[in-house]
Structure 1
Amino acid sequence: MPPTDASTDAGTAPRTDARSRTSPGADSEDTLDLRLPDEFLALFAERTGAAGTLEGAGDAGATTERSERSGGEPGPWAGGSGRCETRHTAAAPAGDDLLDRVGDWGPTATAAGVFQLVPVHIDRDLPLIGRWMDDPAVAAFWELSGPGTATEDHLRAQLGGDGRSVPCLGMLDGTPMSYWEIYRADLDPLARHYPARLHDTGIHLLIGGVTNRGRGLGTILLRAVSDLVLDRRPSCARVVAEPDLRNTPSVSAFLSAGFRFSAEVDLPDKKAALMVRDRALRDLL
C-alpha cells in the first residue's frame, strides 16, 4: 500500500452500529456519538407495531437482501472491491430522496473533459456494464461476471430499493466510460464497521474501457465526483470509500484525489482501506 502522510489515522476502525452526527464544517477527527440519527428514528417509528414494539429493526426484520459492493474502485488498475452481503433495515419515507437527486447534479468540468453522472437505465445500460464486469481484471474484485444474471440482479436491487444507493454511468464528453455507485454510507451496513456520521456519502467506481485505464483518469474523476457530492449535498461533511487493501493502485488514486487513509476495516469478504475526504480539508489535500 502506498505511504501516507502525517494526517493518516492509524489502527483498525471499531465495529459499531452507532451513528454519529456532524455539521458540514466539523473537523476531520473520527469521533463516535452514540445518539441515533433522526432519520433512523423516523424510519423505525414507521415500523412500530400496535403494541409499540419496533418491527424491522436490525437484520431480523430485513425486507430485502442484496449483494452490494463494499468499496468499488476504478477498473482493473483499481478494480472492484469484493462483495458484502447486506440487508435493508427499513423503507425510506415516501417522497424522500436520500441522495439529493443525483440525476440532477449536472456536468462538471475536469482536466480530462466534461464529466457527468447519469443514473443507470437498466434496459439501455446493462449490456455495456455487463461487458465491463466480464473483464477478468474487473471480475477479480467486483465478482459479477459470468453468463448468469449477477450484474442485472445487482443493478435491479439498487434501482428497486429505497434510494440509498444510486448506480450511474460516468459520461466523459458525452461517452459512457465508467460505472459508479453513489450511496448513503451512514445507512449502509458499512456503518457497522466504522464510526459513521449522519449523511456520510460513499462512492464506488469502475473504469470501463481498457483505453481509459492507466492514464490518471481515476484520480481526476474521484476528485471531481467527491467535489460534486460535497457541492450538491450540503448536509454531507465526508465522502468515504473502502477499496480493497490489496488494490494498491486504487488506494493510491484515492490519496491523490484528496482522500486520507483513515483505518483498516475488516468487512465480511475483504480487508478494506477506509478512505475519507473531509469537507473541512477539501482545499488542503
Structure 2
Amino acid sequence: MPPTEASTEADTDPAAQVTPGSGPDTGTRTHTGSDPGAATDCEDTLDLRLPDELIALFARGTEQPGDAGAGARAGEPWGSADAAVGGVGGSWAGDSGAGGGDLLDRVGGWGPVTTGVGVFQLVPVRPGRDTPLVSRWMNDPAVAAFWELEGPESVVERHLRPQVDGDGRSVPCLGVLDGIPMSYWEIYRADLDPLARHYPARPHDTGIHLLIGTVADRGRGLGSVLLRSVADHVLDKRPSCARVVAEPDLRNTPSVSAFLSAGFRYSAEVDLPDKRAALMVRDRALRDLL
C-alpha cells in the first residue's frame, strides 16, 4: 500500500490533505510502489505555463520513426507536442513499462477525456523527465504529512522506479489539464496490491491515488470533477473492471468528501499498515446513479 494522501478538495481548506498511504487529495483549478496507495493534493503555486521554446517544438511535429527515446531524455522539456495539447501519441505513448502493459490495459494509450474543467489526460511518468516536478509537489508540507516522500529528488525517484520498471500493476502518471501538468496520479490493480488483503477484493478492481500539485488548484471542487472523470475513464477503458476503489485516510475529511462528490460510495473502514482508511468504491453498475 502506498503512503497517504494529503487532501482532496471538496471546497475546503487547502492545508488539509492526504496520501501515498491514504486517500487521494484533490483540489480544483480556477480556470479551470510499488505500493500505490495514496493520493494528495498539495504544493505551492507553481507556474507551469509552457515556455516559448517548447511551443516552438510543436511546429516541428512528432518524432520521426527511429528516433528512439528522443523525447525521454533527462532534462528535456515535459511531454511532446502531441502530449502538450492533450493528444494521443508523442514520445510517451509507446512506453510499455510506464504505460501499464496488459495488467492495466495500457494506461498510456487511453487518450484524453473532456471534463467540465477542460481536456484532461493521464500521461505515464518518466522519472528522468518528471521527478523534479513530482518531488517539488511532494515537498509541500501539507502533502508530505501524508505521502511522506519529502526530501531530495532521489526519494521520489525510489518511489517511482519500482512502478515504472515493474510488471505494470501500478502506473504513476502526470495529470495534464489543457496541456499543463497539474496533478500526480497512481492507477493500480487493487486486486494485486497489498490492499487486497484488507478488503473483499474482486478481479480487476482498479485503485486510484491522486495529488493536486498547486495550492491554487485546490479547494474549488476540481478534485471531485477529475476523480469522477478518471474513474469513469477507467471503467470505459477497462471493460473487465467492475469497480474503481480508493482508500483515503479517515483523517483526510476533504479527500473523503471529494470521493463522495465524485460518485464513490463509502464502503467500509479498513485498518492498513500505515493508516485507518475509508474504503471508497465507484461501481460500474451505479455510475449513472451516483
CA–CA distance in structure 1, aligned partners of residues 131 and 101 of structure 2: 27
CA–CA distance in structure 1, aligned partners of residues 4 and 105 of structure 2: 22
8 Å Cα contact 1:74-1:80 kept in structure 2: no
CA–CA distance in structure 2, aligned partners of residues 146 and 139 of structure 1: 9
Report the count of equivalent residues.
213
8 Å Cα contact 1:223-1:257 kept in structure 2: yes
Aligned counterparts, 1:220-239, within 5 A = 220-239=225-244
Instruction: Show the counterpart of 1:130.
Output: 135
One-letter amino acid of the counterpart of residue 164, structure 2: L
Query: CA shift at 1:256, angstroms?
Result: 0.3
8 Å Cα contact 2:104-2:168 kept in structure 1: yes
- What are the Cα deviations for residues 144-168 of structure 1, in whole angstroms up to 9, with x where unaligned? 0013622110000101111000000
Instruction: Show the counterpart of 1:173.
Output: 178
CA–CA distance in structure 2, aligned partners of residues 69 and 158 of structure 1: 14
- Residues 143 and 133 of structure 1: CA distance in aligned 2, closer, same or farther (over 3 Å): same
Q: Residue 271 of structure 1 is aligned with which of 249, 259, 276?
A: 276
8 Å Cα contact 1:243-1:273 kept in structure 2: yes
CA–CA distance in structure 1, aligned partners of residues 6 and 110 of structure 2: 21
CA–CA distance in structure 1, aligned partners of residues 101 and 216 of structure 2: 39
Q: Residue 252 of structure 1 is aligned with which of 257, 265, 275?
A: 257
Structure 2: gaps spanning 5 or more residues: 10-14, 23-32, 36-99
Normalised to the residue count of structure 1, the TM-score between the two structures is: 0.70
Asked whether 1:147 is paired with 2:147, we answer no
One-letter amino acid of the counterpart of residue 141, structure 1: F
One-letter amino acid of the counterpart of residue 139, structure 2: D
Asked whether 1:68 is paired with 2:2, we answer yes
Instruction: Show the counterpart of 1:82.
Output: 21
Query: CA shift at 1:79, angstroms?
Result: 2.2
Instruction: Show the counterpart of 1:197.
Output: 202
Asked whether 1:207 is paired with 2:207, we answer no
Secondary structure in 1 matching 2:150: coil
One-letter amino acid of the counterpart of residue 151, structure 2: G
Secondary structure in 1 matching 2:219: coil
Give the share of equivalent positions with the same residue, in percent: 74
Asked whether 1:261 is paired with 2:195, we answer no
CA–CA distance in structure 1, aligned partners of residues 258 and 268 of structure 2: 16
- Residues 149 and 135 of structure 1: CA distance in aligned 2, closer, same or farther (over 3 Å): same
CA–CA distance in structure 2, aligned partners of residues 177 and 153 of structure 1: 21
Query: CA shift at 1:96, angstroms?
Result: 5.6
One-letter amino acid of the counterpart of residue 68, structure 1: P
Bigger Cα Rg: 1
One-letter amino acid of the counterpart of residue 2, structure 2: E
One-letter amino acid of the counterpart of residue 216, structure 1: G
CA–CA distance in structure 2, aligned partners of residues 134 and 201 of structure 1: 27
CA–CA distance in structure 2, aligned partners of residues 71 and 276 of structure 1: 16
CA–CA distance in structure 2, aligned partners of residues 209 and 96 of structure 1: 30
8 Å Cα contact 1:70-1:190 kept in structure 2: no
Secondary structure in 1 matching 2:182: strand
CA–CA distance in structure 2, aligned partners of residues 72 and 186 of structure 1: 23
- Residues 99 and 270 of structure 1: CA distance in aligned 2, closer, same or farther (over 3 Å): same
CA–CA distance in structure 1, aligned partners of residues 3 and 203 of structure 2: 20
One-letter amino acid of the counterpart of residue 217, structure 1: L
Q: Residue 106 of structure 2 is aligned with which of 101, 105, 111?
A: 101
Query: CA shift at 1:97, angstroms?
Result: 1.2
- What are the Cα deviations for residues 181-239 of structure 1, in whole angstroms up to 9, with x where unaligned? 00000000100000000000000000001111111110000000001100000000000
Secondary structure in 1 matching 2:251: coil
8 Å Cα contact 1:72-1:204 kept in structure 2: no
